[in-house]
């Protein structure tokens, strides 16, 4: 009886809000509406407190990530992880993870890059160990690939631009691919973050790859990891992070330091800062005409993006 009386005494907020919407005077309607919202928050707070006192565990919040559509390629159990480890060992990145070579990366640009694109490429050269920047000078990508193979480069990064702003990143793993094409956005170089580029030391950074949960995501993460040396120098206290969220890959570059006897960590962002969105993943090296694609996003309004809750990485 007590619980039923309690439910009867509890005000029905939704009905009251519907009643408020019928008030014609705009000023009075807004005052009453704010009162009902305040009351609604108060009731929710009391309910949370009551559940906490009763020891009821917190529910899972409804977000796009938690409501994600099922994907058969998501890595869930230990068996999937073991199978994935075998696939990585037998893939084009097997020799990198076996530490049989040191990465050597060429960073180049579209023809006649603007000042910001040039500065962005130079900062990538400072972040990625053993990276060399060079202008293309109208040389086709295929000829650049053949030249890099002869000079024993392991990867090529091409920074593309549109309207004097960097807008694309082409990553080619040598000698046999794959090739990833990314849309590049939200680029902030070090001066725009009000940081001094001299703070970037020459120590090799740690690489953090976060939230790549599918087989496609693992391939992309392996490509990004293979740009960096597999043996970080922890003395430099530098870390680069590729964080995947809703198929957007956010890049951050930090220097960290421990405080209060190692119980707290302080972070200082060094720059640059940018966001990647995968457009395609191609077997082999770059071939825009006859290349075979492992994954490609469709053209007009992205036909593959049929749902906001469907993610591929």
pTM metric for this prediction: 0.79
Reported for 292-296, long-range contacts at CB under 8 A and 24+ positions apart, including other chains, are: 294/178, 294/216, 294/219, 295/216
3-state secondary structure the chain: CHHHHHHHHCCCHHHHHHHHCCCCCHHHHHHHHHHHHHHHHHHHHHHHHHHHHCCCCCCCCCCCCCCCCCCCCECCCHHHHHHHHHHHHCCCCHHHHCCCCCCCEEEEECCCCCHHHHHHHHHHHHHCCCEEECCCCCCCHHHHHHHHHHCCCCEEEEEEEECCEEEEEEEEECCCCCEEEEEEEEEECHHHHCCCHHHCCCCCCEEEEECCCEHHHHHHHHHHHCCCCCCCCHHHCEEEEEEEECCEEEEEEEEEEEECCCCEEEEEECCCEEEEEEEEEECCCCCCCCCCEEEECCCCCCCCCCCCCCCCC
pLDDT (0 to 100) of residue 44: 86
pLDDT (0 to 100) of residue 299: 52
pLDDT (0 to 100) of residue 36: 81
Tens-binned pLDDT, residue by residue, of the chain (313 aa): 444 444 444 556 666 666 777 777 778 888 888 888 888 888 888 888 888 888 888 777 777 776 677 777 787 777 777 888 888 888 889 899 999 999 999 999 988 899 999 999 999 999 999 999 999 888 999 999 999 999 999 999 999 999 989 999 999 999 988 999 999 999 999 888 887 777 788 899 999 999 998 888 999 999 999 999 999 998 888 999 999 998 899 999 999 888 777 678 888 888 899 999 999 999 988 888 888 898 888 655 455 556 677 888 8
Is domain 78-296 in CATH 3.20.20.140, yes or no? no
pLDDT (0 to 100) of residue 6: 45
């Amino acid at each position: 009886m007590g619980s039923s009386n309690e439910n009867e005494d509890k005000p029905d907020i939704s009905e009251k809000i519907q009643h408020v919407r019928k008030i014609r005077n705009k000023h009075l309607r807004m005052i009453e509406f704010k009162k009902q919202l305040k009351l609604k928050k108060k009731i929710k707070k009391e309910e949370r407190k009551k559940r906490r006192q009763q020891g009821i565990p917190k529910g899972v919040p409804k977000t796009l990530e938690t409501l994600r559509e099922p994907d058969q390629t998501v890595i869930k159990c230990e068996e999937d992880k073991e199978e994935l480890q075998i696939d990585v060992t037998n893939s084009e990145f097997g020799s990198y993870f076996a530490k049989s070579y040191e990465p050597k990366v060429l960073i180049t640009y579209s023809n006649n890059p603007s000042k910001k694109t040039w500065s962005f490429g130079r900062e990538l050269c400072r972040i990625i160990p053993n990276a060399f920047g060079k202008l293309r000078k109208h040389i086709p990508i295929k000829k650049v690939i053949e030249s890099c193979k002869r000079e024993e480069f392991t990867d090529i990064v091409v920074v593309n631009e549109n309207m004097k702003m960097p807008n694309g990143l082409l990553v080619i793993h040598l000698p046999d691919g794959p090739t990833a094409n990314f849309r590049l956005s939200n680029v902030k170089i070090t001066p725009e973050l009000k940081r001094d580029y001299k703070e970037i030391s020459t120590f090799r950074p740690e690489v953090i790859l976060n939230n790549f949960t599918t087989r496609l995501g693992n391939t992309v993460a392996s490509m990004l990891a293979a740009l960096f040396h597999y043996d970080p120098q922890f003395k430099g206290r530098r870390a680069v992070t590729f964080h995947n969220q809703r198929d957007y890959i956010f890049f951050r570059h930090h220097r960290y330091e421990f405080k209060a006897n190692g119980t707290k960590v302080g972070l200082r962002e060094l720059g640059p800062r940018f966001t990647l969105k995968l457009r395609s993943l191609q077997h082999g090296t770059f071939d825009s005409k006859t290349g075979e694609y492992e994954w490609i996003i469709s053209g007009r309004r992205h036909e593959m993006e049929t749902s906001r809750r469907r993610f591929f990485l």
